[in-house]
Amino acid sequence: MAKYLLLKHYRGAPAPTNDVPMDQWTPDEWTAHVQYMQDFATKLEGTGEFVDGQALAQEGSWVRYDGEGRPPVTDGPFAETKDLIAGWMVIDVDSYERAVELAGELSAAPGKDGEPIGEWLEVRPFMGEPSTITE
Amino acid sequence: MPVADEALLRTLSPVVIGILVRRGAAFAAAEDAVQEALVEAVRRWPDDLPQDPKGWLITVAWRKFLDASRAETSRRRREEVVEDEPAAMVGTAVDDTLQLYFLCAHPSLSSTSAVALTLRAVGGLTTRQIAQAYLVPEATMAQRISRAKKTVSGVGLDQPGDVATVLRVLYLVFNEGYSGDVDLAAEAIRLTRQLAASIDHEEVAGLLALMLLHHARRAARTGADGRLVPLAEQDRGRWDTGLIAEGVDVLQAVLPRDRLGEYQAQAAIAALHADAQTAEETDWVQIVEWYDELVRLTGSPVAMLNRAVAVGEADGARAGLAALGSLDPSLPRYTAVAAYLHERDGDAVTAAKLYVEAAALAHSVAERDHLTRQAARLHAQQGRSSASGST
């Protein structure tokens, strides 16, 4: 029982195998892609492994504290930021191997010509509770 | 609902499932019906506690089962469900409960599924409570349980089971500790006590003793700010002496039978810690001997890692580091152990570096913070000594 974050990037991940930008897909290729993603989430709900899935807008700003009594400073977005998160899925699975298997499946979502995109997904374990029995 | 009533209710869950199954219900249907009856009891009992809670639960669960069967039957346009209550009863409630443990920990289930099914069917927790305890959506937990029930649907409640798989499931529940409003550690102890009442088995007693001895230290394990307090630094006055005494009694009753297993060995180690009035009085030599037994029984690399710590205490840090040297550095907590032993060996510089590495590898926030504090403590000492050295 362990939770993993499958992290999808707009930018910052290595190039996918089927590296055709989404704006060059046909409407049918789009439909197939969206359907695949929905089916994947539905399947995980059915297996009892789904925790959460969210997509993020590309826009965003940086915010920081700027001293007592002053409003926070905002800045950006920084065009040069290399890493840009597109969204995530959180899964609760038996093992790291299962998390990798599911990430591989998600990465196989079809893109141009209906071929798997082969997009790189980041798989990150959640921090858990410390085990009670340690010695 | 008062806590006592809820505890009673949950104790009745496996008993009533067993009764429904003996009346002819399939396990999955019986489990569903009892779960519905439990939910109704949670709603109604606070205002109107029945005189005979068990009888009430059996009646309501049986009615739920019949309702569901009728719906199913009419849906299928078939009528083969026997509606009258069969008089023939074989076996006892104790057997039923034990069989239910076996079924819910069936080897065909993944550990995740076995844990969920055990907590619901044997533990009488609601799907929502289990979902909250494991921080997943209720729908996800409902699916997990329903798939688990499908997986074991062909397994009869009368088939022989394996105690070892049941103990593994209970161990996992206990180790999850405390999250949400369900105290999983306390629940694991309750279920292990109940199991110990159903079967006379050395390792069941061993696991119960192990849980009690660790639970006794729970209050002392965490500081006021939520930080982990290592065993050596715990305020032993806060250990629960009642639980320790019970754990030691349970263990001492089975050790002479000479049917040692991994849980008895771990409990023996916990008992030796519990026996020491101060950390300095710990009998590390005996603890190393028990780790030797544990390694012999399990071959577990984690046991070998813990053994290296004990060797470091019994025979000095050098000996501990030597024991560590033969192990795989990719083991969880290997780097943390190495950091600790290097500090004991007087090499604070290496220890600080390793604590930083270990913190980056930690898989819980509490452990990460603990290791980072250790690194910070050593860095501060080094800062002081280099400052005093330069004057």
B30 inside domain: no
Contact between B202 and B178 (Cβ < 8 Å): no
Task: For residue B49, give the DSSP letter.
Answer: -
The pLDDT value recorded for residue A58 is: 84
Helices (H) and strands (E) in chain A, counts: 2, 6
Subunit contact B143:A92, Cβ cutoff 8 A: no
Burial of B269 (0-12, 13-18, 19+ CB in 10 A): buried
Residue whose pair of structure tokens reads 């205490």 in the numeric block: B313
Residue type, A92: D
B353 inside domain: no
**Chain A residues closer than 8 Å to B362 by CB:** 127
The pLDDT value recorded for residue A129 is: 79
**Chain B residues closer than 8 Å to A133 by CB:** 171, 174-175, 210, 214, 266, 270
Contact between B130 and B35 (Cβ < 8 Å): no
Say yes or no: ipTM exceeds 0.95.
no
Whether residue A54 lies within 8 A of chain B, CB to CB, comes out as no
B357 inside domain: no
Domain that holds residue B242: 203-275
B377 inside domain: no
B180 inside domain: no
Subunit contact A125:B179, Cβ cutoff 8 A: no
Tell me: cis bond preceding A116? Omega within 30 of 0 counts.
Answer: no
Subunit contact B110:A129, Cβ cutoff 8 A: no
Residue whose pair of structure tokens reads 């690194």 in the numeric block: B375
Whether residue B330 lies within 8 A of chain A, CB to CB, comes out as no
Residue type, A121: L
**Chain B residues closer than 8 Å to A132 by CB:** 174-177, 185, 214-215, 218
Mutation site for A-interface testing, chosen from B127, B130, B140 by largest number of A Cβ within 10 Å: B140
B263 inside domain: yes
Whether residue B167 lies within 8 A of chain A, CB to CB, comes out as no
In chain A the beta strands, taken as DSSP E runs, fall at 2-11, 50-55, 62-64, 73-75, 84-93, 122-125
The pLDDT value recorded for residue B209 is: 98
Query: Cα distance from B231 to chain A (closest Cα, Å)?
Result: 9
B227 inside domain: yes
Give me the tens of pLDDT residue by residue for chain B, a chain 391 residues long.
Answer: 666 677 888 899 999 999 999 898 999 999 999 999 999 998 898 888 899 999 999 999 999 999 998 887 776 654 444 444 444 444 566 688 899 999 999 999 999 999 999 999 999 999 999 999 998 999 999 999 999 999 999 887 777 788 999 999 999 999 887 666 788 999 999 999 999 999 999 999 999 999 999 999 999 998 888 888 999 999 999 999 999 999 999 999 999 999 999 999 999 999 999 999 999 999 999 999 999 999 999 999 999 999 999 999 999 999 999 999 999 999 989 999 999 999 999 999 999 999 999 999 998 888 999 999 999 999 999 887 776 655 4
The pLDDT value recorded for residue B75 is: 67
Whether residue B366 lies within 8 A of chain A, CB to CB, comes out as yes
Contact between B68 and B32 (Cβ < 8 Å): yes
Residue type, B11: T
Taken in order of first residue, the domains within chain A and their CATH numbers are 2-125 (3.30.70.1060)
For chain A, which ranges sit under pLDDT 50? none
What's chain B's length in residues? 391
The pLDDT value recorded for residue B155 is: 87
B248 inside domain: yes
Subunit contact A92:B112, Cβ cutoff 8 A: yes
Which residues, numbered 336 to 365 in chain B, qualify as contacts with chain A under a Cβ-Cβ cut-off of 8 Å? 362-365
Task: For residue A71, give the DSSP letter.
Answer: P
Structural domain count, chain B: 1
Subunit contact B140:A49, Cβ cutoff 8 A: yes
Q: Where is B183: in which H helix or E strand?
A: strand B182-183
The tokens describing A84, both together, are 């840009």
The pLDDT value recorded for residue B389 is: 55
Whole-structure pTM value: 0.88
Whether residue B141 lies within 8 A of chain A, CB to CB, comes out as yes
Quote the radius of gyration of chain A (alpha carbons, Å): 18
The tokens describing B247, both together, are 């754990």
